[in-house]
Amino acid sequence: MSAQISCRPFSLVLGIFLFWTVTSLAQSPVIANGSVLTKAGSGYSFTEGPAVDKMGNVFFTDQPNDRIYKWSAADGSVSLFMEGAKRSNGMYFDQAGNLVSCADLQNQLVRINKDQDIEVILNGYRGQRLNGPNDLWIHPKGQIYITDAYYKREWWEHEEKEIPEENVYCFFPSNKKIFIAAEGLVRPNGIVGTPNGKMLYVADIEDNKVYSYKVDKAMGTLSDQTLFAEAKSDGMTIDHKGNVYVTNSDGVTIFNKKGKQIEQIPTGERWTANVVFGGKERNILFITAMGSVYTLDMKVKGVQ
């Protein structure tokens, strides 16, 4: 009798929760009706750096284990792409189909081809070692924007920064030109740009702010720094409507292009590191969170 009495209120509460969840998802401006967050893989140490190729496959890193994995757009399976990836962190595919990676092993930027050959394309800035390239975005014209945040790694032999400031750099692989594109930030981390190359978003993770910048497509310089949202963000992506997705301890928070929050996707993990759109139609949100990766069907599509 007592068991039946205790179960009925629980069932009622559970039913209300499920009804609220389904109803809220159905009304979401971005999440597909009835879509449920699905664990696509687990058992990793710390997942990061999701990057989507031209077929919609997503490559992501397990940095502590120095591995890169591939999530298949065809069947949703996950397979090992390569080991010994120079401690890759943030990644992005260039126009030629190479995987460009923030390589934390020696604070470099590297290019990885389909045969897993690694080429170092950036060693430092004016003869100084970078603090730790963290994340990147590649402009349609080819220049690469890099957030250089200092997170002391256990595999480093050095203990101090060579560059006191943590900046955003612009790097042109074609002529090796590099310059500081944005400074005065506490710790730049997540970064993403619009598909037309006119605007760049940068997260200052330690100051709980996301800024927008206007991009000079020819010179690569940034101007008109504007506060976009008060939010902490590790990684970011953007959809075809201009909504900006940020990741942190709350999961994935989504802002419209005016900086107003329109959706929240909790992952249930202690930290959600990064996010990208994958799948053949770019309508599957792929999320890296601690030791697992997740997918979620969306109404909107990615533009990366």
Tokens of 278: 């994958």
Regarding whether 21 and 135 lie in a shared domain, the answer is: no
**Cβ partners under 8 Å of residue 195, min gap 6:** 140, 238, 303, 304
Regarding whether 40 and 3 lie in a shared domain, the answer is: no
Regarding whether 82 and 158 lie in a shared domain, the answer is: yes
Per-residue confidence (pLDDT) for residue 49, from 0 to 100:
97
Which residue segment(s) compose the domain that 160 sits in?
34-297
Regarding whether 195 and 49 lie in a shared domain, the answer is: yes
Amino acid residing at 153: R
Q: Is residue 12 very low, low, confident or very high in pLDDT (cuts 50, 70, 90)?
A: very low
Mean local confidence (pLDDT), 194-201? 97
Per-residue confidence (pLDDT) for residue 16, from 0 to 100:
35
Rounded percentage of the chain residues whose pLDDT exceeds 70: 91
Per-residue confidence (pLDDT) for residue 11, from 0 to 100:
42
Per-residue confidence (pLDDT) for residue 27, from 0 to 100:
86
| CA 273 – CA 203 distance, rounded (Å) | 13
Q: Does residue 14 sit in helix, strand or coil?
A: helix
Per-residue confidence (pLDDT) for residue 218, from 0 to 100:
84
Regarding whether 226 and 81 lie in a shared domain, the answer is: yes
Paired with 133 in beta bridges are 148
Q: Give the CA angle between residues 99, 139, 249 to the nearest 5°.
A: 70
**Cβ partners under 8 Å of residue 218, min gap 6:** 141
Regarding whether 44 and 19 lie in a shared domain, the answer is: no
Instruction: Note whether residue 127 is domain-resident.
Output: yes
Tokens of 253: 């928070």
Which phi and psi angles does 107 have, rounded to 5°? 55, 50
Per-residue confidence (pLDDT) for residue 110, from 0 to 100:
98
Tokens of 203: 């997260």
What confidence tens digit (pLDDT) does each residue in 251-282 have? Answer: 999 999 999 999 999 999 999 999 999 999 99
Q: The domain spanning residue 54 has which CATH number?
A: 2.120.10.30
Strands 168-172 and 47-52: unpaired
Burial (CB count within 10 angstroms: exposed 0-12, middle 13-18, buried 19+), residue 123: middle
Tokens of 133: 């390239």
Regarding whether 3 and 98 lie in a shared domain, the answer is: no
Instruction: Note whether residue 25 is domain-resident.
Output: yes
Buried b / exposed e across 246-256, counting CB within 10 Å, b at 16+?
A: bbbeebbbbbe
Per-residue confidence (pLDDT) for residue 194, from 0 to 100:
97
Domain total in the chain: 2
C-alpha of 80 from chain center: 20
Regarding whether 22 and 55 lie in a shared domain, the answer is: no
Note if the pTM is more than 0.75: yes
Per-residue confidence (pLDDT) for residue 4, from 0 to 100:
32
Instruction: Note whether residue 102 is domain-resident.
Output: yes
Instruction: Note whether residue 303 is domain-resident.
Output: no
| CA 25 – CA 35 distance, rounded (Å) | 7
Regarding whether 62 and 21 lie in a shared domain, the answer is: no
Per-residue confidence (pLDDT) for residue 23, from 0 to 100:
41
What confidence tens digit (pLDDT) does each residue in 155-176 have? Answer: 998 989 999 999 999 999 999 9
Please report the beta strands in 155-208, taking only residues with DSSP state E, as ranges in sequence order. 168-172, 177-182, 188-193, 199-204
Per-residue confidence (pLDDT) for residue 20, from 0 to 100:
39
What confidence tens digit (pLDDT) does each residue in 227-254 have? Answer: 999 999 999 999 999 999 999 999 999 9
Regarding whether 96 and 17 lie in a shared domain, the answer is: no
| CA 118 – CA 206 distance, rounded (Å) | 32
Regarding whether 39 and 21 lie in a shared domain, the answer is: no
